[in-house]
Every structure is written in C-alpha cells, then in structure tokens.
Amino acid sequence: MKNLSSLELRNSNISDSIPLNIGEYQSLQHLDLSFNNIGGEIPASLFKLSSLTHLFLGNNTLSGTLPAQKSTSLLNIDVSYNNLIGSLPSWINQPNLELNIVANNLAIDNSKSSVLPFGLNCLQRNFPCNQGPGIYYNFSIKCGGPQLASFTGIVYERDDENLGAASYFVTGTCRWGISNVGYFTGSTVSRSEVTDTLDSMLFQTARTSASSLRYYGLGLENGNYTVILHFAEMAILKTTGWESIGRCIFDIYTQGIRVLQDFDIKKEAGGVSQKAIQKNFTAQVSENYLEIHLFWAGKGTCCIPAQGTYGPSISAISATPDFIPTVSNSPPTSNKKNRTGIIVGVVVGVGLVSFASILTIFWIVRRRKIPSNDDEGIKARPYTFSYAVLKTAIEDLSPANKLGEGGFGLVYKGKLGDGRIIAVKQLSVASRQGKSQFVAEIVAISAVQHRNLVKLYGCCIEGAERLLVYEYLENKSLDQALFAGQRSLDLNWTTCYDICLEVARGLTYLHEDSRRRIIHRDVKASNILHDSDLIPKISDFGLAKLYDDKKTHISTRVAGTMGYLAPEYAMRGHLTEKTDVFAFGVLALEIVSGRPNSDSSLDEEQLYLLEWAWQLHENNREVELVDSRLSEFNADEVKRMIGVALLCTQALPSLRPPMSRAVAMLCGDVEVNKVTSKPGYLTDWKFDDITGFTTSDKTTNETDYTFFQQVQIRGLKFSMQKKMVVNPFSMSLCR
C-alpha cells in the first residue's frame, strides 16, 4: 500500500478520519478522498508528502485549520465544502498554486495575499455577500468562453477560460462565481459545428470538469428562478476514433437537489454529437444565492480515449426570475464613505420629515390606486411618473406633438427632464376596452426585455389619467415605411429582409424564451416600429395574453386585426402562439410585396395578397410578388421568405412552424419545408359578393361576433345564426 502513487476513493461513503500515518505514504502523487463523510482535522504530515502533487479532500466534514506547512510539489489542493476555520497560512502565496477553499468558515483577508483571486469571501459558507434584499435578479454565463450576445438578446458574460484542477472564480461585480474540481489538463473544449440551434456561437466553447463543477448566482433577490442550461457533446468527439464508445454521464443539482441523474448529453441528443440540448429547471432562492452543480458520479467513460473526457460539460447558463423584480440589478457602489454619508443623511431626513412623508405616501397611494374595474390589477407596475411631469414633457398635450391616434387613445411625443425622448400613449377616458388593454400592456411588457420589443419606461396612474411611457422610435411604423401613399422610408431589399428576421426573433423570444410565454395577438405592420438604426421593435401589447405552458390553447373572444387572424382563432376562439405565427406569415408577405394584405384598388387576382402569393408560388413565379420599387433583390431570399410565409399561414396550427424554426429557415440554417397545396380556406371558401367587406385596418378589440355554428366545407352549406357577419378569418381569406 505504501508504494501507491495514485489513490482515488471519491464518493465512496467513507465515514472516518484520515489516518495519522498517512505521512508514511511517500510514493503518493495523487490522492482523492472527496465527496465522502471524512471528519476530524487534516494531518500535517499529509501536506508534507514530498511526491504529492494533487490532493482532493473537498465535500467532507473536515474541521480545524489548514496545515501551517506544505511541500513545494503540492500545487493542486481542493478542500472546498468542509468546516475549516482560522486564517490562511503563508504558503498560499506560492507561485502556480491552485487552491480551492470555497464553502468553509475561513477568515479571508485578501490584503495578506497577492495571489488570491477576487471575491473568495463571497464563496464562504452561506455565501455572505449582498445578503438581505439582494441587488441582482438574473445572470447569464458563457461557460468557458468570451462574452457574447445571443439572437434572443441575452448577453452571456465571459467565463474564466483558464481554471485549473482546483480553482474558483468570482466576477468583479460579485454577480456570479464558479468552483471547479477534477484532475486533468484543460478545462475547456472548442467546436463550431453544433446543430439544431440558432445560437451556434453559444456552443463554440464549453466548460468541462473531471469531477465537480459548480456555478453560483450571488446577491440575488429571493424568489423562484428559471434556470436554463445549454449542452452539446463535444469532448468525446474531439478525440477521433472513439466516438462510438465514449460516454459523458453526470448528475445535475440545483440548490442541492438532484434534478437529473445519469444525464448523458449525447444520449439526450439521440446519439448525435454536436447537437444542442437545452434543459430548464425551477429553483428557489431563499438566502440570496443560487447553486448549480454538475457532478461526475463515476459513471461513463474514464480515461478513454484520453484523460478528462468523461466529466460534466456545459456551454452556457442563464437564470431569470419567475417574479417581478424590485431590485436595481446594478452592482453596489464601492465607496464606503459615500454610503455612510448617504445612510446618515437618510436617517436624519426621515427623522425630520417622517410625519409629512406618511401623509404624502398615503395621498400617493390613494391617487394612484387602480380602480377595481380594471380587470386584472397591475402586479408588475413599472416606474410611475406623475401626470404633471408627463404633461410638461409633451408640452401640455400640444397638437404639434401628436404622433397618432388609435382605439386606445392618443399618442404624443415628449421630452423628459433627463433628456430622454419619449412616446406617451394616453388612454381615452371614454374607452372601456382601453382600461383592460392598459393593464394588459403593463403586465405583458414589464415582464420582457428584448432588442426587438419596444421598451416601456413607465406609466402614470393619477386620478382618471392613464398613460404609458415608451421609448421614442423616430422611424415610425412598418406600414408607413412599406405601403404606397404613406411610404416614409426608402427601404432596400437587405433592410426589408433584416426587418422580417428581427421581427421573427422578437416573437421567438415572446413564445419560447421569456419567463412567461406571451401571445401578442395583434402582430401587424402598424405595430412594428423602428429606431434610428431601423431595428424593428414589436409594440402595442394591449391585446397580449400570458400563456400557461400546461395549456394547449386559450379559449377567448376574438381580438386582433382583420387580415391577420388565424382560422382556428377567428372561428373557434382557440388562441395559441401559432396565432401569432399566422399573422407573421401575412406580415412577411406584406414586407416582400410592399403592399397591405388586401387592396381593392388592384386587379381581382391581386386583390388578396395571400391568395395571389399562392397563385405565383404554384406557377414558380414568386419573384413577381416583390415590391416593384425595389430595383435590386436576392431571388433566393425572396423565395425563402415567401416559402416561410406560406408555411406560417397553413390552415392547421400543427402545420405552422414555431417561430424559432421560422428564424432558422430565414437565416438559412435549415431548409424551408416544402408547401404542396393551398390551405382549405383559400380553395373552399369562395364568395361572389364582396360588397359587404371592408379593407380597413381596424382592430376588433374584443368585439363579439356571431360565428358560423356549422360549416360543411365540401357542399358549402352553412347553418348560421340570424345574420351573416364580417368574414371571421381574415380579409385575405374571402372573395
């Protein structure tokens, strides 16, 4: 036994202390006793073994202090997750030392060490930094790689690429940290050919570990969080010739609870390497920190084909709250003196004006309380402006500042005292529907943030006044940019294509990536606004619905705009995210053609855009749909965009692609599925009399319609109620 050079007894359920004669094992180079229940103190002789280079004692119940001396050869030490106390010994300053002392009770004094990484005090027992109300409400990490922004708009922060066998890292803002343990050379791998993802850049690097890998969210506001983990099997494939037998199997824990056992990335991907996998979990934060633990439990491939291809591997992590945050999400100031002055000032100020403050708060609460007839109540209220401030910003409702008018009320341009240009939407006092839309818009848009969604700055709820305050987007709406007679921008084909793609990305975020799935319900050209760089922003969430993942659809009264309504929604009130997909398909055709979805001034065959597009598609003449004002365009992109639009407007929701796949098809990452035949509503629903129809862009706004009770498509027999109604599908669906 004393001739052993390597001894691994990790995760073996050992309950004892380290033998006092361990100093006699002079041949030991590698000792791993981690993940047991070993107690007592660390024998001083263990740290003096002359041949020992790697020592793993983490995740035990060791107590006492770190030995005062150690051999110069011992350069990799893990004693994390124990009960060690006391101050740090002088040998921690030894060059090239990798020391993991996370989750103990050590007295950390960074001033006595020039080599300790920043933030170790935040990773001691109970993670003491920023406890209390917390200061952050999310974090996103590009594991083992540089910072990057995903197509959804999430910015994944840079990870430390050079973590060794026993190491840790904390960001400069103490927002998140990492602890890594395991013996092999290299802790990241690279691969760029990952499939089935719109974010291939997210998988060009991954963090791997031979044993235990933990990520921590620090200083978080307490509450439930959605944790999203991104994986792709790359390590096994990296060593050519062993892909068929290599396996990477590990367990996944959140907050110490095992949520996945024997997780095999490649198996999860159907036996395919380099395929993106996403796993979502819910975790409760109760003490301001969130722990995500990936643990190799001894299963899978060890040492074949090379040391270090068998442990956990992860490409990216994000955590977002399942509640409306109340903290700033900004790092605290580092100026202690300033903080002290502020605290003293606040205390004195409160003492002087406490009575007046109570009266003021009482008055504000009474003035700003939402009336009980506002259907839902605002649980997600953003920053609240006073009416006086907004009235000044828009120059006392000056007609010169009026931007437009809709069913909700008037919209004005204004300027706040801090210089921000804003758009103020004022609820009409006479609008009963506007009150519920006001609440719906705040609830929906306060819960999401994305580069392709308009930004809500705040609201005003004062007396009878209801106002929403948005960022001002100077390039107005897409319908004004596209359609003849009101064309405000000279758009080229590349810009048109980019606008379509960006709108698709915004809808993908609402449907698949936001904390709550949201159905917009009124996707149309007039609700797409543009900033100074012509980046499109989806606006007007007054009709939006939050969508429970457990439901197949929402049954609701029809609301939206004629010309964009999906058949199942218009006829049966069945609302899913595929309702937005249908509207997007119509919008994409409008972008290609530069015209609205119905135009009575055109010839009969071109009257309804969707029908005309199908006619051109069936005759392989899609390019004739392109706006005649575009002098140049890419024919392949035109066909791709029209193909996606025709898929999105299929009669059955199941035949329409999810928005993420629509994005992939528009990007050219996947082939556009072939559409073989017209939807039934175009071939079977024919009307000779169109005099009763209108081509206006009027929103239905929850209007009750009398729908067909029974329809026999083949014989075109209709059993109706007392009156015929405006076409329940869409202006483009009837003739």
User: Tokens 């570990």 — which residue?
Assistant: 209
Residue 189 near residue 238 (C-beta atoms within 8 A)? yes
CA–CA gap between residue 228 and residue 222 (Å, rounded): 18
∠127-316-56 over CA atoms, to 5°?
50
SS3 assignment, position 583 = helix
Whether the Cβ atoms of residue 514 and residue 445 lie closer than 8 Å to each other: no
Q: Which of 380, 384, 430 is nearest to 408 (CA)?
A: 430
Question: Which string of b and e fits 240-265 if b means at least 16 CB within 10 Å?
Answer: eeeeeebbbbbbbbbbeeebbeebbb
Q: What angle do CA 649, 654, 657 make, to 5 degrees?
A: 60
Please say whether the beta carbons of 384 and 459 come within 8 A: yes
Pairing of strands 54-56, 30-32: parallel
690 CB-side CA count, 13 A: 16
User: Does the annotation list 266 as a binding residue?
Assistant: no
Element (H, E) at 410: strand 409-415
Distance CA 196, CA 664 (A): 9
Amino acid symbol at 355: F
Q: Is the dihedral of CA 618, 695, 480, 664 positive or negative?
A: negative
How far is Cα 246 from Cα 185, in angstroms, rounded to an integer? Answer: 18
Helix ranges (H only) for 594-657 are 609-618, 635-648
Spatial contact of 319 and 217, defined as CB atoms under 8 Å apart: yes
Q: Where are the beta strands (DSSP E) in 81-165?
A: 98-100, 139-142, 148-149, 155-158
Q: Please, which residues have CB within 8 angstroms of residue 447's CB and are 6 or more apart in sequence?
A: 324, 380, 514, 515, 516, 518, 546
Reading the block at residue 613, the tokens are 């597009």
| Residue 232 near residue 277, CB atoms below 8 Å | yes
Q: Phi and psi (nearest 5°) for 111?
A: -70, -20
Q: HEC states along 482-532?
A: HCCCCCCCCCCHHHHHHHHHHHHHHHHHHHHHCCCEEECCCCCHHHEEECC
Element (H, E) at 170: strand 166-170
In 3D, which of 110, 104, 103, 69 has the Cα closest to residue 89? Answer: 69
What is 295-313 written as a DSSP string? E--S-S-SSSSSTTSSS-E
Task: Count CB-CB contacts under 10 A for residue 528.
Answer: 28
Structure tokens at 80: 């994390």
Closest to 278 (Cα-Cα) out of 312, 322, 238, 227: 227
Q: Tokens 């917390």 correspond to what residue? A: 134
Opening angle at CA 599, ends 655 and 614, nearest 5: 35
Give the pair of three-digit tokens for residue 627: 């706006």
Residues with catalytic function: 522
Record the tokens describing residue 544, joined without a space.
């939006």
Q: How far apart are CA 391 and CA 373, in angstroms?
A: 25
Annotated binding-site residue numbers for ATP:
425
Annotated binding-site residue numbers:
425
